[in-house]
Structure formats: structure tokens, C-alpha cells
Structure 1
Amino acid sequence: MDRPTRVRFWVIASCMLMGIILYVDRYGFGIAQPYIRQELNLSKTDFSYALSAFFWFYAIGQMPAGWLSDRFGPRLLLTSYILVWSFFAATVGFAGSLVSLCLARAAFGLGQAGAFPTASAIVGRWIPQAQRGKASSFVALGGRIGGAIVPIVSAILLVVFLPSDQSYEIEPRQILQPKEIAKTIAENRGDKDDPKPYLTRIDEYVERVSVREDAAVITKRILSVAFNELINDPAFYRREAFEELGSMDRFATEQIERIRSGQSLAARDSQRLNRHLMEAVFPVGIEGIYVASWRPVIFLFAGLGLVGALMTWLILRNHPSEHPRVNEAELRYITGTNGASRPAGNLPLQAILRCRSVWLSALSQFCVNIGWLFIVTWFIEYLMEEHHVAMAERSEMIALPLMVGFVGMLVGGVATDRLSKRIGLRFGRSIPWAGAMLVAAVCFLVCPVLNDAWAITWAMAIVALSVDFSVPSMWAFTQDVGGDYVGVVLGFGNMFGNFGAAVSPILLAEVQQSYSWNVMFIICGGFFIVASISAFFVDASKPIRGLPATDCNADLAA
């Protein structure tokens, strides 16, 4: 008897590649967030609308896109989705205002909407039921790989794409918060007990310019003149003044080591070091020099979609029976028959809406994404504002949760498949899912008592580990109950999950500005508790298709 071919592995690998590219494009925008905000002069609330625009249209497109893939086949549709989202990802790089940014992000979200519902349908068609949790974990793992590498790669590319003739002087328009800067300097001047030496050093230049120009009020122009004098001063850096400043840009750290070893810096290196020192002292008050390089990074990431679309078209087929390299042994292993694929019929919306487990899954995903979005949207701002973490170290902190998530994704797939074999689908899917959400809730709730940036980062890493551990259970649930409509069922849950993601940026921005970062942590923890309770009552043992609607938790059908 012939051994089964292994085409199914290549199909799953192509879906994994799709996930990598999808998250590189999606999270690349988030990493560039501080520089986009600065260049377009957007507040947190303004930028939250751009973040939210993506998720509203991503959510709305889930079910229609999933049904299209179920109805007409995933090969053409997934290839098309990749090309469409890549085009609109590139248009983000042309945005010049909040309106154009929101429109580009909305179209980008609509383009990405069909990706994971289609990938779930592919797993349902190409993988036996006993292995779907593990296969789903590999597909979702692609997203985490993309999300984990993009902060580090973005940090490198922002430096690489910095124009060689970039000016390090600060123009008045680049002073973003003159009143806050002046207030900080004045408060330090009046602090006789514990003045910050680096602020005292900067104050020397500001006071000198103010006296020279007889200025009673510190304006953008006064600050610009003073800051440029210190930027052009080779002797501005003093070890005793800046030693307690903390996290610094990698370039600045290298130049400081050179100074401490007795070397002298070239004029351009000295200017750039001084500019980085200023940005470290006033991380949100001065426009960053990497504002000049975020657009080329967006364009490069968007171009990766061309590679993904080509690979998807070449490797994928709508059903194993249509693939020329699949032998009969592999076809029997996957489906138990050599029959051809059967397209889905009309959208079974009534049956889906009567299924309690589908609604519980949707509620869990809604709540999860409200908390999860903090990690991939506002965490970067938290590190800048609350802990003044420089870009290089900040990129490592942002990458860590998604890198740790790798483990959760892989272990979660194996755990749900093995547990389902031992105790059945009902609890084999719900226990890993609900338990992981509870762990994530605890991590958020302890954050207010943690004062160290790395301690908070590790708490977020455990949140990511927990969320990723639950993803294979959630995907496998949709494949267990969805029959020929896996894409639609996953799309329904994803739709509500991304309604949560759409609400999250605006909600969390308002909470932070009205209350504090600590209140934001508590709210995120509360949503994870609701997600845990909802997930526990999900029942994967009762399929939707082929049964009367009342059989799927009849209390809603009554």
C-alpha cells in the first residue's frame, strides 16, 4: 500500500506564511504609531479612531468573506484577499491626514477580513478531525511569528531608511508640547531637594536663550533655538548629568560608550546623540527623528503580500481531491474517501443564530480582544510615557509577549486534541480555553502593583501565552461544529471578536486619559474574566449542520 503523500503539510505551511505576512502588515502600523501620530499631529483619541476603523471593517467582512470562501473555494479567494489587503496596506503610507488614514485602514481591514475564516476552512478540508487543533495552532502561529518579528525588524528598518541627509536640529513645528516641556523644566528648577541633573543641564541652554532674547514666556521658537544650541554643542553630554536618565536609543548608547572610553565623535554623530538625548528626556514632547522613515517601512511590508499571494496560488487547492500531487492514500487519510469537494450552500444564518455555543464563543472573543488590543496598540505608548523606554529596548519589550505566545500556540493545539480524546469534545475544547482566559485576567489585575517596565512586560507575555494557548481550542470548536460552513462559523466569532477590537482602542484611550494606566489594566482583567466564564460553557460536541437547530442548546431556539 502506498504511503500517504504530505501535501497537506505544505498547504498548512502556506496558511502559516499567510498569517506571518498578515500580522507583519497589521502590526507594522502599530509599531510606527508614535511617529505617525507625531507627523500627522494626532492625539491619542484621534489615533484610536484609525485603529478602530480597521477592526470595524475587519469585523463586518468576516462572515461574508468566510461564506464566499466556503461557496467558491479558498484558493482563489485567499489569493485575492492577500492582494487586496496588501494594496490597501500600501495606501496607509500615503496618508496625510486623519481622514485619509482612517479610510486606508478601513479598506485594509476589509481586505484582511477573509484571511483566517478561509484558513480555518482550509484546515477543515485538508486535516482529519483528530489533528485539527494542532494544525490550527500552526496556522495561528504564523500570525504570532509575524507579530513577534515585526517590532524588531521595524526598529532596524526605521534606522536603515533614515535619510542620510536627515537634519538633527529641531524646528519649532517639531516641538509638540511646549507648555508641558516648559512646565517640566520650571518644576525641576524649583525642586531644591531632588532636581533631575539632565533637566538642569537642558535648563542651562533654555535660560541662556530666554535671557538673551528677553523672553518672559518659553515658546516653541525659544525652545527650538535653545535645543539646537545644545544639539550642536559637542560638550553637551556629561556623564554625571545623564547617568540616571535610563533607557536610551541603541545608537546613543554606542556613542556614549565611545565618549566614556575617551574617543571624540564626528560632528554628525555628536548632533545625533544630542538629539536622542533630547528625545529620551521628552519622549512625547519632541517629534522623533524616525518620523522621516516610517512610510518606507510600511511600503516594504505591503510588498510582502505579492510573495504570499503567489505561494498561496501555487500550493493551495480547494480540496485534496483537486491537487495533482495528492495520492489516494493521503486522500483517504484526510477524508476517508476519494470524493470531490462539495461547495457550501446558502448562508445558514438562522441555524448559527440559534446556537448558544456560537454566541458564547463570540462573547468570549469580544472580551478577549478588548484586553488583547492593549498589548498590540497602547503598550508601546505605555512604555514611552510611563517608563521612558527607548526605541530599541521598547521593540524588544513589544516583541517578547508575541514570542512567548509561540509556546502557548503549539502547546495549546496538542493539549486540546489530547484532552478531547480523553474526556470528549465538550470539555476538551472549553477547559483549555476558559482556563487560559482566567490566567490572563490575573496577570492584568496584578499589573497595578508592578512598577518595573520589564515586570509589566513579562506579565503581558503571560497574557499572550494564555491567549495563544486558547486559540487552537477556539478554532477547533468552529471546525467541530461548522461542517461545510467552517468559514462562516469562524467568521461569526471573529466578527464579534473584532467588534471588541474596534471598541478597545477608543475605550482604553478614554480610560487612560480620564483615569490612569492602572485603571486600564483592571478593566482589561475584568473583560478576561467574562471571557473565561463564556468559554467554559461552549459545547463543541453538538454540531450545527445536519441537526435540528434546537439540538444546539435548545434554550435559544425556544
Structure 2
Amino acid sequence: MSDSTITPPSNAQKPTNFRWVIFATMFFLLAVNLMDRITLSIGMPYIKEEFNLSPTTQGLILSSFFWSYALLQVPGGWLLDRFGPRKVITGALFGWGFFQAIIGLASGGLSLILSRIGLGVMEAPVSPSGAKLSSTWLTQSERGRGAVIMDSGSPLGVALGGIIVAHLIVMFDSWRVTFVVVGLFTMLLGFLAWKVLRDRPSEHPSVDQKEVEYIAAGNVVSATGNDDTAPTKGLGISWFTMIAIMVGRASWGMVYWGLLTWGPSYLAQAQGLDLASIGNSTFLIFIMGTLGCLFSGFFVDFLVKRGITHNVALKTLLSISGVVGLAALYALATITNPTIAVGLLAVAAFFMMFGSLYWSFPAILAPKDRVGLVGGLMNMANSCAGILVPILVGVILQATGSYESVLVYFAVCAGFYTVGTLCINFNKLPVKNGQLSFQK
């Protein structure tokens, strides 16, 4: 069965488009998610002085978020499949806002680590929830846009979050008050999530019947056309494809989290930029990442609407993403001009953020009752990269004394990201009872 574009009848009122409000909301929540996540990094210069933290302790505190975040990805995906995104996201917002706020009450390194572990627990199901919503709210030909609209909130949250948090610390003259304010703001967003989000279009009062029918008509439910309610056996996709997804996502995460955690240090130490220039450069790099993220989603949906299969469209764009990212990162290893270096990082960010399309994979490949689980496994791989890459980069720097080997390592990761993507079989579409049908 091929993807098709559903056109509403011309003689009838057009269906509502509330599904895009859902994904605009997720975009905003993911931006806040990343802003909350980097708040500690922004405040660390003040925190380390107050608590007299060693560099090793600082590293443990910064990485502790990912310990629980990675561990809870699969249980978080199961919760999404069991209770639905609306309840899980609302609870997560209240929970992560609480743990963010109590960081402002910390008394030392141990309490900071415990708070960050709690933050990781509560943020774990947020990203997989977007894949779950995509499976119920979007047609097959809209899922690329849905994935990147949601995930583009991440680089934008990084770009804007640092500026906002830094100004709040200056305004309040206190990192503690800043954490409490940011945490309370996040908790208030729990009420927004409960009001706006629903697990299915038919449950939302702002969605008319035409939009419900439009979404249903644009989805493939089974090989026979029956929406079987029997539970799916296993993952509903092959383990080879699942492993390929995890390898590709983990390799992409090595580059993303590597640039996020070590990018400012690279700009300062290897390129000699001052603090203001680092802030401006980081903003430019991650804004370009946001634009690349959005471009890839809209373009892949454009290709699908023109009759190109997901297999061809996704592999083509993601292969370009990996190859250009590899080339840009490898070239950076020999660049000494700061302007050229920032330009190459911006190019790498633009193309590497095509990787946000990965969030369309669970909805495209997995049965609806396994989307959360598949998304959780995928994000667990990404989160493990977030744990490992700061440590690996530190080891490489200590062994070599330069960023040249680090950038070559990032380029190799971009290559593995490309290979992992090419091993995924997008032609297989899931049906119930663990069976798979082939897209023609």
C-alpha cells in the first residue's frame, strides 16, 4: 500500500487543523524541556564557587541527569502506551518542574545529583510522547513535519534557554531564585498540557468529525484494512530494524550532545573566542540547527506527497545529512580561523538536525500500541550517547591535548549515523498480532 495525500471534498467545509496546535504545543514543551536541562550548565560557574565543587564532581552532577533519563526511556514508553500521552506529559511537567525548583534549595553536590536524577526520571517520557501523538494525530504524509516541528524545539531551547537563564540570574542576582522560578513556570505548563492535549483526535472538543475522518483516511492500519484491537506481539517491527534505529540514533546523539557539552569549550580553547562571542556563536549554530530540522520535515513530507516512498525520501535526506555532517566536522579538525570554524559548525548543525526525522520512525514503523515502546528504545540509545560522549571527549582531550582528534571522532560518529539509517527497512509497515506487511 502506498502513502497517499487525502484531499477534503471541495463542496464541503474544510476540516479543522487542530492537530497542528497539538504539535505546536509539543514544540513549546520541548523548548522548555531543553531550557530546563541546560539551566544547571549556565548556573554552574556560580554553583561551583558556592559549594567548592571539583571539576570531577561538576562532571558527575552534569551527567547525572542522563543516568535516570536513559534508564527510564523504556518504562516511560510503556507508560505512554498504557496511560496515553495526555496523562503522562501532564504528570511529567509537574514532576520535572518540582525537581527543577528544589535544585534551588540544594545544600551541596549530593543534593544536586539527587535532584538531577529526579529531573531525568520525570523528563524521560516527554520526547517519546511526540512519537506516540504522531501515530494517532497525523496522517502518514504528515509525520515528517510532526516530528521536526516537535523536535526543533530542542535546539531552539538550547539557543534561547542559555540567554534567558543567564539574564534571570543577573536580574535576580541569584541562581537559586532562578531555578525556583523556572521550576514553577514548568509546573504551570502542566495545566496547559492537560487543557490542550488529548490522546486521540476524537476526544478533543476543538476537532470536528471531518478532521477525525481525514486523519483516519490518511493512515494505514493493517494489511487487510481492519483496525484489529488484538495486542501486538513483541515490538511489532524486526529487531534488525530496531537495532539499526538505535545505532543510528546513538551515533547522531554522540555528535549532538558532544557539540552541546563541548562546543563552547572548543570555541574558547581551540578558536580563542571570548564569552560574548561564544554566546553569539552558540546561538547562531543552534538556530541553524532549528532551521535544518524544520526544512527536513517539510521537505520529506513534500516528497511523500509526490509519491516517493518513506524508504527513499528518508534515506536520501538522512544520508545527505550524515555525509555533509561528516565532511564539515572532519574539515573542522584543521581549521584555525574562528569565523570559518563557526560557519562550518553552523553547516554541520543544519544538516545533522535532519536527524530529528528519527522521531517519525516509531509512528511510521510500529503498531500504535508499540509506538511508545519503540520511541523509548530509540531515545534510550540517544540518552546513552549523552552519558558517554562527555566522558569520551574528556579522555580523548587528555590523551591528545587537542580538539583535532575529537572532531575526527565526531566525523566517524556521523558516518555510523549514516550507515545505521541505511540499514532501516522503511518498506515494512506493521499490522496487529506482530505480523508485518510490505508497502508496495
Q: How does the TM-score come out when normalised to structure 1?
A: 0.70
- Is 1:433–2:318 an aligned residue pair? yes
CA distance in 2 between counterparts of 1:496 and 1:80 reads: 24
* Shift in CA distance, 547/359, structure 1 to aligned 2, threshold 3 Å: farther
Following superposition of structure 1 onto structure 2, how do residues 291-302 of structure 1 map, counting pairs within 5 Å? 293-302=174-183
Q: CA deviation at 1:139?
A: 0.9
Q: CA deviation at 1:75?
A: 0.9
Partner of 2:276: 392
* Shift in CA distance, 442/93, structure 1 to aligned 2, threshold 3 Å: farther
Partner of 2:355: 470
Kindly provide the CA deviation profile for residues 194-240 of structure 1, in whole angstroms up to 9, marking residues without a partner as x.
xxxxxxxxxxxxxxxxxxxxxxxxxxxxxxxxxxxxxxxxxxxxxxx
Q: Secondary structure at the match of 2:366?
A: helix
Kindly provide the CA deviation profile for residues 293-342 of structure 1, in whole angstroms up to 9, marking residues without a partner as x.
333333332222123211111111111111122211111111139xxxx9
CA distance in 2 between counterparts of 1:64 and 1:506 reads: 26
Partner of 1:541: 427
Q: 1:119 aligns with which of 117, 127, 130?
A: 130
The one-letter code of the counterpart of 2:288 is: V
Partner of 2:4: none
- Is 1:36–2:47 an aligned residue pair? yes
The one-letter code of the counterpart of 2:283 is: A
Partner of 2:408: 522
Kindly provide the CA deviation profile for residues 101-135 of structure 1, in whole angstroms up to 9, marking residues without a partner as x.
22221211111110011121112211111111112
CA distance in 1 between counterparts of 2:288 and 2:321 reads: 14
Q: 2:65 aligns with which of 54, 59, 70?
A: 54
Q: 2:147 aligns with which of 112, 132, 136?
A: 136
Partner of 1:229: none
Kindly provide the CA deviation profile for residues 441-472 of structure 1, in whole angstroms up to 9, marking residues without a partner as x.
22221222122334333222222212222212
- Is 1:308–2:189 an aligned residue pair? yes
The one-letter code of the counterpart of 1:317 is: R
* Shift in CA distance, 36/531, structure 1 to aligned 2, threshold 3 Å: farther
Following superposition of structure 1 onto structure 2, how do residues 281-296 of structure 1 map, counting pairs within 5 Å? 293-296=174-177
Partner of 1:370: 254
CA distance in 2 between counterparts of 1:549 and 1:486 reads: 15
Give the structure with higher Rg (CA). 1
Q: How does the TM-score come out when normalised to structure 2?
A: 0.87
Partner of 1:404: 288
CA distance in 1 between counterparts of 2:72 and 2:140 reads: 27
Following superposition of structure 1 onto structure 2, how do residues 235-246 of structure 1 map, counting pairs within 5 Å? none
* Sequence identity percentage: 25
The one-letter code of the counterpart of 2:246 is: A
Partner of 1:14: 25
CA distance in 1 between counterparts of 2:22 and 2:295 reads: 21
Partner of 1:179: none
- Is 1:109–2:109 an aligned residue pair? no
- Is 1:26–2:26 an aligned residue pair? no
CA distance in 2 between counterparts of 1:511 and 1:42 reads: 23
Question: Are the counterparts in 2 of residues 430 and 539 from structure 1 also a CA contact under 8 Å?
Answer: no
Q: Secondary structure at the match of 1:423?
A: coil
Following superposition of structure 1 onto structure 2, how do residues 263-274 of structure 1 map, counting pairs within 5 Å? none
CA distance in 2 between counterparts of 1:418 and 1:533 reads: 24
Kindly provide the CA deviation profile for residues 54-107 of structure 1, in whole angstroms up to 9, marking residues without a partner as x.
122111211211221122121111100111111112233333433322222121
CA distance in 2 between counterparts of 1:549 and 1:343 reads: 12
Q: CA deviation at 1:394?
A: 2.2
Partner of 1:72: 83
Partner of 2:334: 449
Q: 1:419 aligns with which of 297, 303, 327?
A: 303
CA distance in 1 between counterparts of 2:212 and 2:294 reads: 25
The one-letter code of the counterpart of 1:20 is: A
Partner of 2:5: none
Q: Secondary structure at the match of 1:449?
A: coil
Give ranges in structure 1 of 5+ residues lacking alignment.
163-292, 553-558
Question: Are the counterparts in 2 of residues 27 and 376 from structure 1 also a CA contact under 8 Å?
Answer: no
Q: CA deviation at 1:411?
A: 0.9
Kindly provide the CA deviation profile for residues 487-528 of structure 1, in whole angstroms up to 9, marking residues without a partner as x.
211111111111111111111122222322222112111111
* Shift in CA distance, 312/548, structure 1 to aligned 2, threshold 3 Å: closer
Aligned length: 416
Kindly provide the CA deviation profile for residues 391-413 of structure 1, in whole angstroms up to 9, marking residues without a partner as x.
33322122221111121111100
Kindly provide the CA deviation profile for residues 378-434 of structure 1, in whole angstroms up to 9, marking residues without a partner as x.
222333444554433322122221111121111100222233444312222222122
* Shift in CA distance, 518/468, structure 1 to aligned 2, threshold 3 Å: same
Question: Are the counterparts in 1 of residues 311 and 427 from structure 2 also a CA contact under 8 Å?
Answer: yes
CA distance in 2 between counterparts of 1:397 and 1:49 reads: 27
Question: Are the counterparts in 1 of residues 232 and 367 from structure 2 also a CA contact under 8 Å?
Answer: no
